Each structure stands twice: as C-alpha cells, then as structure tokens.
C-alpha cells in the first residue's frame, strides 16, 4: 500500500518535472522519456497479497509497524529483486524459493545445509526471536526481536513486500 503510494507520488513528481520543462519552452527529448520508462521496476512474478490474504495471526498485523521494524534488517537486506545482495541475501520471493538459494550469495554452511526446504512464517518467527539459538553457525549477525507483536508485524510486512 505504502509503496504503491510512493510510486504514485514518484509519477506525480515526474509529471510535474515534465510540466516544468514544457513551461520553460524546451521540448522534452524523446530519449529522456524512454529512459524513464526503462527505469520502471520489472513486473512482479507473483501476485501481490494484501493483509486479509495472509494466514492468522499475520492478517491482524500492523503493516506500518512491520515496515518500521524492517528498518533493523534493511542495511543487510533488500526486498527489490534488481538490487541484489547487501550484507545478507536479497529477500525478494524468499517465501517461494528454496532456503539459501539467492543467486550468487555465499551462505554459511549452517544455512546452506539446513534441511528446511522453504522459509515458512513460523520458522522465520523462531529464527528472528533468537537467531543464535535457532541456527547456530549462521553468518546472520543479528540479536533478534524480543517483542512478539514486532515479529508478527515484520513477517506480515515481508509476506506482502517480498512478493511485489
Ligand atoms: C547484519 C546484517 C543482517 C541483519 C541486520 C539481518 N540479516 Fe538476515 N541475513 C544476513 C545474512 C548474512 C544472511 C545469510 C546467513 C547465512 O548464510 O547463514 C541472512 C539471511 C536471512 C534470511 C534467509 C534468506 C535465504 O535466502 O534463505 C532471511 C529470511 C533473513 N535473513 C531475514 C532477516 C530479517 C527479517 C531481518 C530483520 C529482522 C534480518 N534478516 C536482519 C544478514 C543480516
């Protein structure tokens, strides 16, 4: 929802910039228009979900709060496929792909050899509560999230945002 708003306001900004150009009398070069279109994000590969599509208890989450909690992860993880890895792997589509499978990312043996096939929300919940205890030897150096509501909210946020 919020991202969509951001896209919208981005589009408004571009429209304003173009309008300003027009007023100045200088014609908008065709090349510039093409570049703007090429910078559009690629079409989503899976349909985006909304809060009410999520399984309980995530359908009762506060997505704005989840977004705020994700600030703890953002330095290490991007959710936008085209942005690739940071300190940690790109998380786009993380619930649909096999665990430890982001292309080109060097996972720790602990995660690479972890037998779980996919990241289910309940597994992520346990990991985020106490990363060190849940997956010893992982290279994700993160202290964890104590508050259960914060974990629910950030996972709900991810269930939606990683599918855009
Ligand atoms: C200091 C950097 C850092 C922070 C902060 C961090 N991560 Fe990670 N994350 C990593 C690294 C590195 C890995 C790979 C771990 C490994 O290979 O053992 C990882 C792996 C993951 C994976 C598994 C991805 C896969 O492809 O299997 C998920 C899911 C994840 N992180 C979610 C989160 C969330 C959610 C947060 C915030 C609440 C977070 N991480 C915070 C660095 C970080």
Instruction: Supply the range of the domain harboring residue 152.
Output: 51-161
- Packing angle between helix 148-161 and helix 121-129, nearest 10 degrees? 130
62 and 30 share one domain: no
**Ligand 1 center–CA 146 separation, angstroms:** 16
pLDDT digits (tens, 9 = 90+) for 50-77: 999 999 999 999 999 999 999 999 999 9
Here the tokens at position 36 are 């703007």
- H-helix segments, the chain: 2-23, 30-38, 63-69, 71-74, 109-112, 121-129, 131-134, 148-161
Q: Would 91 be classed as within a structural domain?
A: yes
CA of 77 to the centre of ligand 1 (A): 7
At residue 120, the pLDDT reads 96
Do 61 and 34 lie in a common domain?
no
Instruction: State if residue 159 touches ligand 1 by the CB under 6 angstroms criterion.
Output: no
| Helix residue ranges, H only, 51-147 | 63-69, 71-74, 109-112, 121-129, 131-134
**Encoded tokens for 15:** 């429209």
Indicate whether 22 and 98 sit together in one domain: no
Spatial contact of 52 and 59, defined as CB atoms under 8 Å apart: yes
Same domain, 77 and 130: yes
Q: 140: CA distance to ligand 1 center in Å? A: 5
Q: Are residues 27 and 66 in the same domain?
A: no
Query: Number of folded domains in the chain?
Result: 2
Cβ–Cβ under 8 Å, residues 49 and 163:
yes
What pTM value is reported for the model?
A: 0.78
Pocket test for ligand 1, best of 98, 116, 140, 163 (most atoms within 8 A of CB): 140
Burial label for 2, CB within 10 Å (0-12, 13-18, 19+), is: exposed
Clarify whether residues 84 and 156 are in a common domain: yes
Q: Is residue 82, in this structure, part of any structural domain at all?
A: yes
Let me know whether 30 and 81 are in one domain: no
Q: What is the pLDDT of residues 100-114, one digit of tens each?
A: 999 999 999 999 999
Q: Which residue has the higher pLDDT, 35 or 155?
A: 155
Q: How far apart are CA 107 and CA 22, in angstroms?
A: 51
Confidence of residue 37 (pLDDT cuts 50, 70, 90): low
Digit-coded pLDDT (tens) for 6-21: 444 444 444 444 444 4
- Specify whether 23 is located in the same domain as 73: no
For residue 88, the CA-to-ligand 1 centroid distance in Å is: 5
Same domain, 87 and 145: yes
The answer to whether residue 45 is domain-embedded is no
Residue of 77, 78, 130 to mutate, ligand 1, most atoms within 8 A of C-beta = 77
> What is the C-alpha to C-alpha distance for residues 18 and 35, in angstroms, rounded to an integer?
13
């Amino acid at each position: 929802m919020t991202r969509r708003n951001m896209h919208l306001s981005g589009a408004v900004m571009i429209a304003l910039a173009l309008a300003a150009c027009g007023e100045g009398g200088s014609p908008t070069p065709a090349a510039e228009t093409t570049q703007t279109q090429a910078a559009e994000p690629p079409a989503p590969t899976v349909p985006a979900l909304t809060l009410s599509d999520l399984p309980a208890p995530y359908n009762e989450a506060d997505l704005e709060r989840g977004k705020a909690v994700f600030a703890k992860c953002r330095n290490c993880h991007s959710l936008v496929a085209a942005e690739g890895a940071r300190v940690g792997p790109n998380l786009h589509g993380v619930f649909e792909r096999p665990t430890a499978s982001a292309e080109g990312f060097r996972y720790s043996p602990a995660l690479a050899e972890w037998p779980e096939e996919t990241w289910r929300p309940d597994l992520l919940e346990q990991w985020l509560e106490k990363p060190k205890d849940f997956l010893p030897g992982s290279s994700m150096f993160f202290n964890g999230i104590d508050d259960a509501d914060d974990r629910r909210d950030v996972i709900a946020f991810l269930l939606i945002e990683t599918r855009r």
